[in-house]
Structures are given as structure tokens and as C-alpha cells.
Structure 1
């Protein structure tokens, strides 16, 4: 069943240098179908006083870092101390706790005007590095949280294979990030599918965490499937 809504903005930014006045916004099934400036207020439209802006995009989110809020502002001397604290949080996560944390964070984004997010997702497996029964259980939790918060998501599924640029093996909580090879990472990602509120993307964690020989194959994989490709250029 089709649902239709109408909104009338006193002022709206449609691009360019200024705001348009008296803008009618037609929405069908939760998506904007038409934007028409210079229209008197129809009787069935919900009025939006002041200035209306398009939804904002958060293009690089680490949603579980929300749990660090209030814990790293003082007493954390440098990046390495902060990373140790972040790894403590990552170690404790499971699909349900990640879902709860992500839903709260995405709801905050939605309330502040962010309507789409790129989630740089690399906590894939269990605390011991073993895959869940559903290898994408952690990613699915993040996607479900975004859907429940009403925010569109690009899941930037991240390949993370080594501990440093010299190729040191991953240990501790980092084992949760590791698929074993770029081919195994790709096989897991291929099980994911786009929906109306989800776009599946590819990500390379960094030049530190992915061997040089895997960079081009991952980029080619993303290109063949029309996926966005994302990377930490610098840490």
C-alpha cells in the first residue's frame, strides 16, 4: 500500500547561494518524490517553519566508539593509550550489544539531521576470532540498528589482515577483525546484498593493516560489483 505525505517549507535550501521560499515536498513511501518551490500551502501539507536543509551524510562512522564517550577525554596520554581503551570496548561486543549501541548512536544522528551514514565496519568475528554461525552477524546487527533508527546506511565492510606494515600477525582483540585473506574477506562480503536502505561497500582498513599485494585485488573486487571503496589513508 502506497503512503503519501506532503510538507511545506517556509524556506528550503535547494542548492546555490540562497534559500527558496514556499517549497512543497512530496514524499511517497518514505522517499522524496518531488520538490517544488513557489507553492502556496496546500491544506493537507505539514508546515515546516524556518529553514529546511537536505539530510546530512556522515561518511565515516565507527559506531562502537560511542561507548568511549566520557572515558577518553582525560587520563589518556596518547593515541596508543586511546587505542588500548578502544580495544577493550571492541573485545566486549557481541551482536546484541553492538545492535543496542548502534541503534542509540544512529538515533542521535537522525535527531541531529543526519539521514545517511557510511559505517566503517571491521569487528566481524567472535572474541576468539572464530566466525559466528552467520559470518555477517555483526554487520547485520549494525544494519538492523540503522533500519530501526530510520537512517540509510552504506556498510563499508572492512578488510583487516595484519598488525603492522611489516606483516605482523594479528593478536588479541584484533583477531576479531581478521578474515584470514582478502579472498576470504571477499567471500564473506559477497553474502551481503543491497536493499532500499542498505548499500554494501568495501573498505581497506589502512596500508598498515592490509598487505600491498591485496590492495589492487580488493579495489578490483569493489569495482566489478559497483561498490564504493573506502580507506584510512593515514592513521
Structure 2
């Protein structure tokens, strides 16, 4: 039977008691209704049922790099010094490495409460910067990893052409990323049938304003609209103060302001990071309908700065969560870091609560699911008819959760547990992907990941 009875379920409008979830063989919810008790033999959730969390920003290969830059390499380390080390690590990445790393990462994500991921894929070519015989080789490796693990997937091939504003020539570390606009559109045409075949969504990621000149941005967006006019578009923007300064020097405008004036930004767009905006950009960006793609643990790890969450929300802005460089792979940890960064910035508590939802974890979860679904371009917006049956069941027997009401269980999961330890089961499209906290591929995928990382580290040490 495609049903699950939940004593407590977090629906789009808030917590509800005694809810029966039903879905069809395509994994789409067909009923979300009150039920006095479960039908005879019907499965019963072991704890509160939450909507699955979309992860709206991932660079999968960087999971193998996490933890390897936590030492001082120069007098003042920054995002830019980190990027140099990352390029060096990526230089020898091959298709088998990519698939092994992504398979483990996506299993980790599922175990940590993510049920889908947007993959911002910018490593396209071989180590010498030449296209593979099959130009889609590395993107197809990521699609295979998603299919094997069962995670929902949005593939965002990255357009990357320059090393800086004004079309500066790319540097040696970027040789694997570079492709022409025509080449990108051909790649999208190639990937569309593969994505459709496994229920994945295809979009486009112009890397950033510094990496994509204006003409290329305009032509790529127009080309994407010819392929799929509703496809998602993601772009890194205003992550670093140097990026803002360089953009002003180049154009006389800040990055978000320039983008809003020169591109058709609307609800299809995700502004990844958008950390450094002025008051006008916060208002205009929020009112454009675009999603702010927040990656709190990566932004903290790289020293990016703190997004003004209250300003974005004040203007009705949509937002969602990503794990980006995967310094942390944990949906609850991202919620915690987002809330704590705001508390530190404003010296207040419970900043993430809303008028409708006084419980911080509840309010943030519902908003992040809505924004993440929008950025993913998929019907994964929560426990409602017509959406996919993507959900997470918390373990009510876990010590941090025992004896609490459902809203407090979610709060304890985010703020008072080990985060992953309170997750019991995870379902994607009505299929169980995690049971008793473990993915079926956990051991196999972990071993392959360690082997791939070890090989890459050994090759990077070689002369």
C-alpha cells in the first residue's frame, strides 16, 4: 500500500495531527487527509513526518576536498586562496572519481534529511581542458550517482568563460570549466533526454558575472528558453566583497543591481549566496521573485559574510538552503548555522521565527522547503496533494526527542541533537531510501569514496 499514517506531520500550513499520506505509483501525493487512526496493516511513522528538504546548491566533487584546507597557507587566507587550492585538487578528477564521490555524497545527503539536490556542475573537460569524446561524460556520471542513490535531481551545467569582469582570459586552473555559449547549448540538448528519462530536471548555471560576459549571458538564457522556457537558472552572485568591488569598477553597479537591470530575473532564478547587497538590492531582488540560495556552513567556512535574512524576508523574498562545498552535509546543521549567524549579527534570539510560526525550526523548515522546491524546478514543495512523496521521519525514541510535542521534537533535532541521529527514515517519490538512519549503499559508497579521495590525494602529491 502506498500510504503512511503519521501521528504528527508538518504540512505547508503547519503541524497537523493524525494525517494519512497516500501516493500513486509515480510517487506523487494523491491524498493528505485527517484519519482518526491508521487502517489495519497500514504503515505507521515512528515519529513526526517532515517534508523532504531540497538542497539547492552543490558542487559534488568538493566533498572529497572538505577538511583539507583548514590550515593557514598565507598571511591572510580567504575565499580566493581556498579557490586556488580547490582548483589544484580538481585538476586530476576523472569520471570514476566524480561518480564515486557523488554517490557517497548523495547517500550522505539522504541520511541527513535532504531528498533532492541541485548540482551546479562546472567541471566539464579532461585534465588538459579538452572535451571528452562524449562531451556529457562528467554530467552523466552525476546523473548515474543520483539514480543509484535515489535522490531527486536538478542538473545545472555551468557556463564559464572568463576569469574576471570584462572578459579577462581564463587562467590555467579554469581550463576544465571553459566552454562557448554554443557548446553549452549543444550540451543542454544532449542532456535533456537523459534527465527526462530518470525524472531529473535540467537547467543552466551561468557561473557568475565575473565568469560570463554580458553577451554570453543573454545568449545562453535565450537559448535555454528555446529548450525549456520554465527551466531553472542559478548564478553565484555577490558572495565576496572583492567581487562587489570589482563589479563596481567594471560597470559602475553592484552585482545584484547589474543583474536585475540586464537579465530577465524572475521566479526561475536562484541568486546563490547574494551575501553582499545594499538595501535597494535586497528589496529589488526579493520582489523579482528569485530565490536566495543560502549556504550557511560554506559561507562561514569561507569567511564570506552574513546574509541579511531579516531584510530579505521583510520584502517577501523566497530562500532555500544549499550545502555548496560540503564542509557540512546536514540539512539541520544548515538551519542551525543560519539561525545562529543571525543571532550573532543582531544579538537577538529566535530571529527565524515568523508571525505564523513562533517555533524557529518549524518556520525555517517550511520556508526552506518552499524556496528550495522553486529553485529546483520540481514539484517537491511539501506534504500536499500534487507534490512528490518526499519526506523525512524523525525517531521519536531518540533521547533528545523523547516525550516532546512534535514542534519541540523538530526544535530538538535542529538545536539539541547530533542532527543526523534523530532521523529514522527518508522517502523519495514514495520509495524508502534510508531506513533506521542508513542508506542501503552506505558501506559500499563510503568505501568507494575513500578510495577515490585517496587516489586523488596521492596524484596531487606527485611531482
Unpaired segments ≥5 residues, structure 1: none
Is the Cα–Cα contact under 8 Å of residues 147 and 197 in structure 1 kept in the other structure? no
After superposing on structure 2, the runs of 4+ consecutive aligned residues of structure 1 that deviate more than 6 Å are none
1:13 is paired with a residue of what secondary structure? Answer: strand
1:65 Cα deviation from its structure 2 partner? 1.4
TM-score, normalised on structure 1? 0.92
Alignment match of 2:18 (pick from 17, 22, 26): 22
Alpha-carbon distance in structure 2 between the residues aligned to 1:185 and 1:36: 41
1:37 is paired with a residue of what secondary structure? Answer: strand
TM-score, normalised on structure 2? 0.48
Alignment match of 1:57 (pick from 54, 75, 78): 54
Which has a greater percent of strand?
Answer: 1
Counterpart in the other structure of 2:40 = 43
Counterpart in the other structure of 1:168 = 168
Which has a greater percent of helix?
Answer: 2
Q: Does 1:230 align with 2:244?
A: no
Unpaired segments ≥5 residues, structure 2: 240-463
1:56 Cα deviation from its structure 2 partner? 0.6
Is the Cα–Cα contact under 8 Å of residues 19 and 33 in structure 2 kept in the other structure? yes
Following superposition of structure 1 onto structure 2, how do residues 110-125 of structure 1 map, counting pairs within 5 Å?
Answer: 110-125=110-125
Counterpart in the other structure of 2:81 = 81
Aligned length: 230
Counterpart in the other structure of 2:203 = 201
Counterpart in the other structure of 1:129 = 129
Counterpart in the other structure of 1:31 = 27
User: CA RMSD, aligned part only?
Assistant: 1.6
Counterpart in the other structure of 2:177 = 177
1:111 Cα deviation from its structure 2 partner? 0.9
Counterpart in the other structure of 1:187 = 186
Higher relative contact order (CA 8 A, sep 6+): 2
1:30 Cα deviation from its structure 2 partner? 5.8
Is the Cα–Cα contact under 8 Å of residues 24 and 30 in structure 2 kept in the other structure? no
1:34 Cα deviation from its structure 2 partner? 2.4
Alpha-carbon distance in structure 2 between the residues aligned to 1:216 and 1:45: 53
